[in-house]
Amino acid sequence: MPLDKLNEVAQKAKAIASDVAQKAKDVPDLAKDLANKTKTTVTSSAEKIYDISQNEHYRVEVRIDKNGVRKKLATNRPTRHTIKWRAKGY
């Protein structure tokens, strides 16, 4: 009887070990997926910042320092010349 229990425990241990080994093989794939998702997020954010800054209607400031990323988005105040031409409908 104790031998049967010992064999049963050994089989469960083998099953758990094979399951852990399979999950360990999946870890690099999960890391790659996370890296790709992070890359996509950073790229899309950079594209949005670039598009906003090219519009010249907004002033974008991004500072990266040891405390993190600081963003500042402000609208440029229109000049008298711009106000005049927009009022004329051009």
Position 2 pLDDT exceeds 60: no
How far is C-alpha 39 from the geometric centre of its chain's CA atoms?
Answer: 6
Nearest CA-CA partner of 51 in 60, 42, 63? 60
Task: Produce one character per residue of 63-80: b if its CB has 16 or more CB atoms within 10 Å, e if not.
Answer: eeeeeeeeeeeeeeeeee
Q: What is the mean pLDDT of residues 18-38?
A: 78
Q: What is the mean pLDDT of residues 72-86?
A: 76
What residues does each domain of the chain span?
A: 2-87
Q: Give Cα separations from 65 to 50, 62, 68, 71, 72 (angstroms).
A: 20, 10, 5, 11, 14
pLDDT of residue 3: 60
pTM of the model: 0.45
pLDDT of residue 1: 47
